[in-house]
Amino acid sequence: MDFLMHPLNLVTFFPLLGVLVILFLKQEQKNAIRWVALVTSLITFGISLAVLAQFNASNPDLQLTINEPWIQVAGWNIHYSLGVDGLSILLLLLTTFLTPISILSTWTAIDERVKDFMIFFLLLEVGMSGVFLAQDLFLFYVFWEFTLVPMYFLIGIWGGPNRMYAAIKFFLYTMAGSILMLLAILWLGIHQGTFSVPELIAKGGIPADVQLWLFIAFATAFAIKVPMWPLHSWLPDAHVQAPTAGSVILAGVLLKMGTYGFLRFNLPLFPQAAVKAAPVMAVLAVIGILYGAAVSYAQTDVKKLVAYSSISHLGFVMLGLFALNPQGVQGAILQMINHGLSTGALFLLVGMVYERRHTREMDKFGGLWKVTPVYGALTLIVTLSSMGLPGLNGFVGEFTILLGAWGAGDAGGVLGSHYYAGFAALGVILAAVYMLFMFQKLFLGPVTHEENKKLSDLNWREIATIVPLLLFIFWIGLYPKPFFGLMAPAVEKMVTLVHSAALAALP
């Protein structure tokens, strides 16, 4: 019983209870199903807050750990091992926070097969929480792959016209990366004798050349998920076809699984390789930043624009991670959250207008700020957050990342050149270009389309889905201390570990 009631088990598996309840409801009881899903996800969020309450921010180590032997035969050393630390607590909270919001956003948008939808959605939440909490590579992989399944259905059943193609592409692309990781995980299990992440880190001692191969295998899986340029080709398809709530979760949480993977596994498990690969990863990140920004600008479909902007934003995250100093890494973690909030909100907003007009072509809009002032104002704030306006959340992340990356370019830093941060900072200009372009296309200018003149402004439910996000957008922008406070000791420890391990390897 204690095991079941452990907060981490609860927060991970509580949505299953909702699934169970929904299973007993009829397909036609749509509202009941929606309420069950919403309440379940809200309770889950509450549990995650309880986790936060029990979390000791000054402790850099894993906390609230569960470590039960799971499969201990035939040379297997697999544990059911969960734990939370400064690297993951915020992502856990982001997951549980975005899920109810997404569910709320589907209230009228999803009217077909509501039951199935909510079941998949709650299952997805289980998978995502599990990914962020698992501390055993085997368990992690189980959760990691498991998230594919519900997302696959969410895209494939409730998506746009080309949904099946997008769903299969999403699944295969991600799986293609993760199977390589699977082999690397197996290698670690065989040669290090354990799958437990803390133990593997403590043990270390993987030869440098092997580290590099393992790093590549893990990195492939994560880079596809992030997605890093040039492995991003699945993203526009998946995003454009996915239903709004799916896009929110996809951008908000699923992509973070990739960056989190780098943070949790690639850096501490293979420190020498990480230091060696840092310039390469940084180059890819910077290309991603600039490329994503340029390509976003040339889109005509607003959802695609936002999708490509994710490539740019996550480029910043990757750059911060591979700056391998506290500023860069903390900025990167914060930017993961920021991107979840801002891009999540953008997708929600795009979904709202799509629900009204059934198109996302920017040429079909224009002048909406006049017709729907509230919608315009909210979008403006989110747009500004996304382009990193100081005072809002995006700036804090981008600034610290760039600052960190610049520092990593100093002598003694892992990047060894200021060009990375310099070029990445150009992305700040380009972000303004495409974001303002989008805002202008949708909201400014005269109302040129007759259909747009009678658009209704946001209703209370829609405002309620956006406002919580806005609260955090302002909060993080103005007073990020609590957020940094949660991650600081863990990041400090991790960075020190990577550096000392990499240094120790030097002749």
Interacting residue with another protein among 97, 138, 262, 265 (CB under 8 A):
138
Q: What distance in Å separates the CA atoms of residue 432 and residue 369, rounded to the nearest whole number?
A: 19
| Minimum gap (Å) between residue 433 Cβ and another protein | 6
Under the binding rule (CB under 8 A), the answer on residue 1 touching another protein is no
Q: How far is the CB of 229 from another protein (least distance, A)?
A: 9
Q: Total binding residues for another protein by CB under 8 A?
A: 98
Is residue 367 a contact point for another protein (CB under 8 A)? yes
Report 448-477 residues binding another protein (CB under 8 A): 448
Q: Give phi and psi for 68, each to the nearest 5.
A: -105, 135
**Which uninterrupted H or E stretch holds 447?**
none
Q: Which residues, 283 to 312, sit near another protein by CB under 8 A?
A: 291, 294-299, 308
Q: Which is nearer to another protein, 209 or 410 (CB)?
A: 410
- Select 207 or 390, whichever has its Cβ closest to another protein: 390
Helix (H) or strand (E) holding 84: strand 78-84
Q: Is 73 in the site for another protein (CB under 8 A)?
A: yes
Placement of tokens 């589907």 in the chain: 106
As measured in angstroms, the least distance from the Cβ of 309 to another protein is: 12
Rounded CA-CA distance 43/21 in Å is 14
403 binds another protein (CB under 8 A): yes
H or E segment and range at residue 303 = helix 302-321
Torsion of Cα atoms, 97 then 98 then 99 then 101, to 10°: 100
Q: Is 456 exposed, middle or buried (0-12, 13-18, 19+ CB in 10 A)?
A: exposed
Nearer to another protein, 104 or 491 (CB): 491
* Most distant CA pair in the chain, distance: 72
Q: Applying CB under 8 A, which of residues 86, 271, 331, 394 lies at the interface with another protein?
A: 331
Q: What share of the chain is helix, strand, coil (3-state, %, to 5)?
A: 75, 5, 20
Contacts (CB under 8 A) with another protein, residues 162-221: 163-165, 167-169, 171-172, 175-176, 179-180, 182-183, 186-187, 189-190
Q: What is the CA angle 313-106-134, rounded to 5?
A: 55
Is 426 among the residues that bind another protein (CB under 8 A)? yes
Q: Based on CB atoms, which residue is closest to another protein, 109 or 371?
A: 371
> Alpha carbon of 423 to those of 27, 279, 285, 325, 426: distances in Å?
53, 13, 10, 19, 5
Q: Is 152 in the site for another protein (CB under 8 A)?
A: yes
In this structure, what DSSP letter does residue 264 have?
Answer: I
User: Binding of another protein at residue 143 (CB under 8 A)?
Assistant: yes
Per-residue contact string for residues 219-258; x = within reach of another protein by CB under 8 A: -----------x--x--xx---------------------
Residues 399, 416, 455, 474: which binds another protein (CB under 8 A)? 399
Phi, psi for 401 (deg, rounded to 5): -65, -50
The DSSP secondary structure of 214-231, one letter per residue, reads HHHHHHHHHHHHTTPTTS
Residues 474-503 that bind another protein (CB under 8 A): 478-481, 484, 488, 492
| Beta carbon nearer to another protein, 84 or 387 | 387
Please return the burial class of 412, using the count of CB atoms within 10 Å of its CB with bins 0-12, 13-18 and 19+. Answer: exposed
Which of residues 100 and 366 has its CB atom nearest to another protein in the complex? 366
- The distance of closest approach from Cβ of residue 163 to another protein in the complex, given in angstroms and rounded to an integer, is 7
Shortest reach from residue 194's CB to another protein, in Å: 13
